[in-house]
Amino acid sequence: MTIPAHPRRWFGLFCLLVVAFSVGGCSPTATPSTAIVTDADESATITPHPRPPVVATGLPPTTPPPEATAPPTATDLPTIAPSPLPTASLTPSPTPDRNIPCSSRIPDNGLLTVVTLTYGLSRDYEPAGLVGLSGYLPNDVTLGYPTELRRAAVTPLVKMITDMQAAGLQPRVLSGYRSFSAQAIARQKWLEKEPDRANILSAPPGFSEHQLGTVIDFGSPELAEIVGQEDIEFHTWFYKTSEGRWLLDNAHKYGFTLSYPFEAFEITGFFYEPWHYRYVGVEMATQLHEEGISLTEHQLATEPPPCIPDSP
Ligand SMILES: [Zn+2]
């Protein structure tokens, strides 16, 4: 594996090792139906879906962590020409709510709302313009899940999925919008089952980007073979799949950005989630891609605090 030289990367590597050893099937109670997640918010996918997807990102204790500092590139995959896509406004919220707690925050309809474990969303916040993806994508992509997404992100997503399929890939859409209440249910489940690791297993309600309605979790049919578990849906090794590699290289052309890169744990507060992409518009996504930074890093560096951070 590549040894990261930067201190931040050392920290990220440490965190991944923590995940690997604390989550990776070590729990004697771990079964496929109670599978484990390092994705700090993915566990909510369990509740709204017609069948509970297995969620597991932990690695076996005897397995070295992935070379996450140097994910493979898709040099052997076809590339696509950039297509004209809707570009989102990069104008930040004009009236930051500086005098309210972040947990009471109801953002506008912009695409760049910061959401971290200290910048939350009100339980009353539901994005406008949610639409069901079943009317836009075939069942072999949605797997029959009733996934919703904000309208602004639907056309770019459909275009990206279509181009992935044309390149011979088989992307899956595993999760999209999740309400505050859906996240609360998932969070409670993990608190009851594994209280010591609930903070790793799921984000508290109000602190998930999925509540914004502009986030998609992608899956790959290759993941099961790579991980060696037939019903796996989420795993950090998604970055090794053809779909994961393509997304890493091309998603920005459609306006999507990887929210939680491996090396950005300190900034985002979330563990590496190679499947979690957020729509921010082509201009911003391309800027982030070229600068090699996460959206959260950009937000915290360029925008004033929009609210009073809640206590962690
Ligand atoms: Zn996600």
Q: What is the pLDDT of residue 288?
A: 97
Distance 181 CA to ligand 1 centre (A): 16
Bigger pLDDT: 172 or 267? 172
Distance 49 CA to ligand 1 centre (A): 14
Distance 176 CA to ligand 1 centre (A): 8
Q: What is the pLDDT of residue 102?
A: 84
Q: What is the pLDDT of residue 303?
A: 75
Nearest to 272 by CA among 220, 241, 299, 236: 236
Distance 217 CA to ligand 1 centre (A): 5
Question: ∠117-114-270 over CA atoms, to 5°?
Answer: 35
Distance 72 CA to ligand 1 centre (A): 21
Q: How far is 170 from 81, CA to CA, in rounded Å?
A: 19
Q: What is the pLDDT of residue 197?
A: 63
pLDDT in tens, 196-241: 766 666 788 999 999 999 999 999 999 999 999 998 888 899 999 9
- Using a 10 angstrom Cβ sphere, with 0-12 exposed, 13-18 middle and 19 or more buried, the burial of residue 241 is buried
pLDDT tier at 283, thresholds 50, 70, 90? very high
pLDDT in tens, 127-153: 999 999 999 999 999 999 999 999 999
Distance 112 CA to ligand 1 centre (A): 16
Distance 197 CA to ligand 1 centre (A): 18
Distance 38 CA to ligand 1 centre (A): 11
Distance 175 CA to ligand 1 centre (A): 7
Which has the minimum average pLDDT: 41-50, 209-218, 289-298?
41-50
Q: What is the pLDDT of residue 199?
A: 67
Q: What is the pLDDT of residue 198?
A: 66
Q: Is residue 108 within 8 Å of 306, Cβ to Cβ?
A: no
- Using a 10 angstrom Cβ sphere, with 0-12 exposed, 13-18 middle and 19 or more buried, the burial of residue 12 is buried
The type of residue at 222 is E
Distance 8 CA to ligand 1 centre (A): 23
**What are the distances in angstroms from CA 170 to CA 39, 210, 237?**
22, 23, 16
Q: Is residue 19 within 8 Å of 271, Cβ to Cβ?
A: yes
Distance 218 CA to ligand 1 centre (A): 8
Phi, psi at residue 93, to the nearest 5°?
-55, 125
What domains, with CATH codes, occur in the chain?
A: 85-179+205-302 (3.30.1380.10)
CA gyration radius, the chain: 18
Confidence check: pLDDT of 79 > 60: no
Distance 42 CA to ligand 1 centre (A): 5
Contacts of 98 (CB under 8 A, 6+ apart): 304, 305, 306, 307, 308
The model's pTM = 0.71
Bigger pLDDT: 116 or 159? 159
The percentage of residues in the chain with a pLDDT greater than 90, rounded to a whole number, is 47
Question: ∠15-303-284 over CA atoms, to 5°?
Answer: 80
Nearest to 33 by CA among 56, 13, 5, 14: 56
Q: What is the pLDDT of residue 232?
A: 86
- Other beta carbons within 10 angstroms of residue 194's beta carbon come to 18
Distance 132 CA to ligand 1 centre (A): 17
Distance 311 CA to ligand 1 centre (A): 23
Question: ∠101-103-106 over CA atoms, to 5°?
Answer: 95
